């Protein structure tokens, strides 16, 4: 969770002349998914020296200029702020001029040259002085410029502006070429000394690119578009110079008014797609950040979802929004949801932007297989061959993928390997019975079956009781098979004994006179289908019952055998 500086920070590049400098961003945290607003304050160090916009300043001052007259010599720039910014000016020692520091309404400091003693062109036609700008660092940094002062002949009256300071408001959507303000100055002199020429003083390049003043009329015109989000105000230094070289200064403060010219921007920070259809109501599926660089109501944004989907949007901190599930999801009804996030500001007219969020719903096994028919009936020929088709049943599952495939195993067509067809889930029965069928390609096809009993358990200890029960069943089955074999053997022995007895009796009658038995009783022996029957894991022939009959009245001896047991 530590925050590190990734590269060298330059407060002046990041925040310019702003007194405070901070960087804000959103930190995305997973498990649980959330977003935090982080603001880092960047403090200034004294890494910039004051700098004049030009290295040389040319001044023409009439020799009749009265002591106490003031002359603006421009402004030095220092990119640092606070105590590290520009604090004052110093002038090289001389007999005529001193420098005073003036502070404008916006807090910038500029130097004014004050005439302390009357000039005499005949004794000294020009002066060369060094002007130094100092900041408040420890140690202080400095910047210098050369002042070239030419002493001219008398021009008694300097120009005078109608106002020392002008204020004007300018909408940021004002087209280039529009008039900003008209300044005016007058001069009490006559002739060429009273002719006034207007110009812009020494200012930053970006200001000079935005505005221009007409030299004859003093009309200030906008050259380039202004942007409230970039700069909220400008300070212009306008000069009025008469024909004798006297100069007057005034300031024009231009306030840039915001208009709703920026639509809200939508950024998708995180999107959790696909989402399982059993996700609880209120689950976060997307994180959004909405930003509008406009100010006031023009920058106040509200968000809503457009489109029919079980989703809703919830405001979070720092202009962030969460898209959450508003109701239960059902993949079988809709496997995908498309909604449009609409962000709209409160400007007049309001501006809006939109972004589409596509949410896929993943399947969970929440549907049981359903047969196509509730009941099936079929007609079968009585002498139908084994392995013939009786009836075909079909079930469908609304789930997808492995969840839609029906009890869990598949067998290799050629190898006979039994494998799991999907992952075992808690919904599967602990005991599984798999019947495998093998068929040949004869006419008619013959087949055999084998039953595989599978116990699903997390460990061998859990499976041992089930396996023990299965062994007991297997032993019981083996015992039944043994009893069946013994029973068949006994029946066969009785059958052979009966044959021998009948043969012996016929031989005796051939040697003796016939004796007629008048009894109306029949002597017979019948073995019913009382032998135990079991079918477990192999294909066996059905059991047979054997019946022997003997009639004494007719004197004829016959017998019947191998009659299939109807009870089986």
CATH number of the domain enclosing 438: 2.60.40.60
Instruction: Name residues whose C-beta falls within 8 Å of residue 196's C-beta, 6 or more positions apart in sequence.
Output: 159, 185, 186, 187, 240, 241, 242
Indicate whether 243 and 170 sit together in one domain.
yes
**Domain-located, residue 84:** no
**Domain-located, residue 489:** no
**Domain-located, residue 218:** yes
Q: How many residues does the chain have?
A: 568
Tokens of 458: 């997390």
* CA proximity to 75, closest of 197, 204, 183: 204
Of 192-196, 233-237, 536-540, which gets the smallest average pLDDT? 536-540
Indicate whether 342 and 321 sit together in one domain.
yes
φ/ψ region of 330 (left if φ > 0, alpha if ψ in -120 to 50, else beta) reads: beta
Q: Is 393 helix (H, G, I), strand (E, B) or coil?
A: coil
Average pLDDT over residues 455-477: 65
**Domain-located, residue 394:** yes
Residue 473 pLDDT > 90, yes or no? no
pLDDT digits (tens, 9 = 90+) for 138-151: 889 999 999 999 98
Residue 539 pLDDT > 70, yes or no? no
Quote the percentage of the chain above a pLDDT of 70. 85
**Domain-located, residue 354:** yes
Number of domains in the chain: 3
- List b or e across 419-448, with b for residues whose CB sees 16 or more CB atoms inside 10 angstroms: eeebeeeeeeeeeeeeeeeeeeeeeeeeee
Of 60-74, 122-136, 475-489, which gets the smallest average pLDDT? 475-489
DSSP assignment of 437-478: EEE--SSS--EEEEEEEEE--SSHHHHHHHHHHHHHHHHHHH
Tokens of 43: 């403090």
Angle at 175 between CA 171 and CA 176, to 5 degrees: 115
Do 247 and 240 meet the contact criterion of CB atoms below 8 Å apart?
Answer: yes
Residue 566 pLDDT > 90, yes or no? no
Domain coverage including residue 345: 265-362
Q: In the structure, what pLDDT confidence band is assigned to residue 32 with cuts at 50, 70 and 90?
A: confident
Tokens of 463: 């499976």
φ/ψ region of 435 (left if φ > 0, alpha if ψ in -120 to 50, else beta) reads: beta
CA torsion, ordered 502, 503, 506, 512, to nearest 10 deg? -110
* CA proximity to 494, closest of 433, 553, 431, 547: 547
Write down the pLDDT at residue 513.
Answer: 52
Q: In the structure, what pLDDT confidence band is assigned to residue 464 with cuts at 50, 70 and 90?
A: low
Indicate whether 172 and 203 sit together in one domain.
yes
**Domain-located, residue 117:** no
Element (H, E) at 359: strand 352-362
Distance in Å from the first CA to the final CA of the chain:
79
Residues 435 and 413: their CA atoms lie apart, in Å, by 14
Q: Is 99 helix (H, G, I), strand (E, B) or coil?
A: strand
How is residue 401 annotated by DSSP? G
Do 431 and 453 meet the contact criterion of CB atoms below 8 Å apart?
Answer: yes
Do 375 and 335 meet the contact criterion of CB atoms below 8 Å apart?
Answer: no
Mean pLDDT of the chain: 81
CA dihedral sign of residues 263, 269, 274, 276: negative
Indicate whether 401 and 323 sit together in one domain.
no
Residues 125 and 121: their CA atoms lie apart, in Å, by 5
Indicate whether 172 and 236 sit together in one domain.
yes
Angle at 208 between CA 202 and CA 209, to 5 degrees: 160
pLDDT digits (tens, 9 = 90+) for 290-349: 988 888 888 889 899 988 889 999 988 878 899 999 999 988 888 899 999 999 988 888
**Domain-located, residue 121:** no
The verdict on pTM exceeding 0.75 is no
Quote the percentage of the chain above a pLDDT of 90. 26
Q: Where are the alpha helices (DSSP H) in 218-372?
A: none
Residues 12 and 166: their CA atoms lie apart, in Å, by 29
Tokens of 79: 């990119």
Of the CA atoms within 13 Å of residue 315, those in its CB half-sphere come to 11
Of 190, 222, 257, the domain-final residue = 257
Write down the pLDDT at residue 546.
Answer: 36
Query: Which residues on adjacent β-strands are paired with residue 152?
Result: 62
Q: Could you identify the residue written with the tokens 């789930």?
A: 399
Do 144 and 73 meet the contact criterion of CB atoms below 8 Å apart?
Answer: no
Average pLDDT over residues 112-137: 88
Give φ, ψ of 362 to 5 degrees: -90, 155
Peptide bond into 274 cis (omega under 30): yes
pLDDT digits (tens, 9 = 90+) for 51-70: 988 889 888 888 888 899 99
Indicate whether 251 and 273 sit together in one domain.
no
Indicate whether 283 and 350 sit together in one domain.
yes
Tokens of 349: 């007219």
160 burial via Cβ count (<10 Å: 0-12, 13-18, 19+): middle
Indicate whether 354 and 409 sit together in one domain.
no
Indicate whether 302 and 216 sit together in one domain.
no
Indicate whether 167 and 251 sit together in one domain.
yes
**Domain-located, residue 422:** yes
Q: In the structure, what pLDDT confidence band is assigned to residue 84 with cuts at 50, 70 and 90?
A: confident
Tokens of 389: 């088709």
Of 461, 484, 508, the domain-final residue = 461
Indicate whether 351 and 379 sit together in one domain.
no
Q: In the structure, what pLDDT confidence band is assigned to residue 86 with cuts at 50, 70 and 90?
A: confident
Do 235 and 252 meet the contact criterion of CB atoms below 8 Å apart?
Answer: yes
Residue 274 pLDDT > 60, yes or no? yes
Indicate whether 415 and 433 sit together in one domain.
yes
Query: Which residues on adjacent β-strands are paired with residue 410?
Result: 419
Of 418, 446, 461, the domain-final residue = 461
Q: In the structure, what pLDDT confidence band is assigned to residue 531 with cuts at 50, 70 and 90?
A: very low
Residues 545 and 138: their CA atoms lie apart, in Å, by 122
Residues 246 and 61: their CA atoms lie apart, in Å, by 7
Write down the pLDDT at residue 467.
Answer: 61
Q: How many CB atoms lie within 10 A of CB 177?
A: 8
Most confident of 242-256, 503-517, 531-545: 242-256
């Amino acid at each position: 969770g530590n925050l590190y500086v990734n590269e060298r920070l330059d407060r002046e590049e990041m925040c310019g002349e702003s007194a405070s400098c901070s960087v804000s961003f959103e930190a995305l945290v997973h498990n649980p998914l959330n977003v935090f607003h982080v603001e880092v304050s960047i403090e200034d160090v004294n890494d910039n020296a004051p700098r004049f916009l030009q290295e040389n300043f040319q001044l023409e001052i009439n020799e009749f200029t009265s002591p106490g007259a003031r002359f603006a010599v421009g402004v030095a720039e220092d990119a640092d702020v606070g105590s590290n910014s520009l604090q004052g000016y110093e002038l090289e020692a001389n007999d005529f001029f001193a420098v005073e520091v003036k502070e404008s309404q916006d807090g910038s400091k500029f130097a004014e040259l004050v005439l302390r003693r009357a000039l005499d062109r005949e004794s000294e036609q020009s002066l060369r002085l060094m002007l130094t700008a100092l900041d408040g660092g420890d140690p202080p940094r400095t910047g210098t410029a050369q002042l070239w002062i030419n002493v001219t002949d008398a021009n008694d009256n300097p120009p005078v502006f109608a106002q020392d300071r002008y204020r004007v408001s300018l909408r940021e959507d004002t087209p280039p070429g529009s008039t900003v303000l008209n300044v005016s100055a007058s001069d009490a002199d006559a002739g060429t000394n009273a002719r006034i020429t207007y110009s812009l003083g020494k200012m930053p390049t970006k200001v000079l690119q935005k505005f221009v003043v007409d030299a004859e009329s003093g009309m200030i015109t906008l050259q380039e578009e202004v942007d409230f989000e970039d700069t909220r105000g400008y300070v212009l230094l306008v000069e009025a110079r008469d024909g004798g070289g006297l100069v007057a200064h005034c300031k024009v403060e231009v306030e840039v008014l915001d208009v709703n010219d920026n639509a809200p921007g939508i950024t998708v920070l995180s999107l959790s797609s696909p989402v399982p259809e059993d996700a609880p109501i209120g689950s976060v599926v997307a994180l959004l950040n909405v930003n509008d660089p406009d100010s006031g109501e023009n920058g106040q944004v509200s968000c809503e979802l457009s489109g029919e989907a079980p989703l809703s949007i919830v405001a979070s901190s720092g202009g962030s929004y969460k898209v959450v599930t508003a109701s239960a999801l059902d993949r079988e009804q809709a496997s995908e949801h498309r909604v449009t996030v609409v962000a709209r500001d409160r400007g007049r007219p309001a501006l809006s932007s939109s972004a589409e969020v596509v949410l896929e719903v993943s399947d969970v096994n929440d549907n049981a297989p359903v047969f196509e028919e509730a009941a099936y009936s079929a007609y079968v020929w009585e002498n139908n061959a084994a392995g013939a088709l009786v009836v075909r049943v079909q079930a469908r599952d609304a789930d997808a993928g492995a969840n839609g495939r029906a009890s869990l195993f598949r067998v290799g067509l050629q190898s006979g390997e039994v494998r799991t067809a999907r992952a075992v889930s808690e919904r599967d029965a602990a005991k599984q019975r798999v019947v495998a069928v093998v068929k040949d390609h004869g006419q008619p096809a013959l087949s055999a079956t084998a039953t595989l009993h599978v116990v699903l358990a997390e460990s061998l200890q859990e499976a041992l009781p089930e396996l023990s029960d299965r062994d007991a069943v297997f032993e019981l089955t083996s015992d039944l098979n043994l009893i069946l074999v013994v029973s068949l053997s006994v029946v066969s022995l009785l059958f052979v004994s009966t044959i021998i007895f009948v043969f012996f009796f016929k031989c005796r009658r051939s040697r003796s006179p016939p004796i007629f038995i008048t009894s109306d009783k029949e002597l017979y022996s019948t073995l019913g289908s009382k032998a135990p029957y079991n079918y477990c894991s192999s294909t066996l022939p059905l059991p047979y019952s054997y019946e022997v009959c003997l009639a004494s009245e007719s004197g004829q001896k016959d017998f019947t055998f191998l009659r299939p047991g109807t009870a089986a």
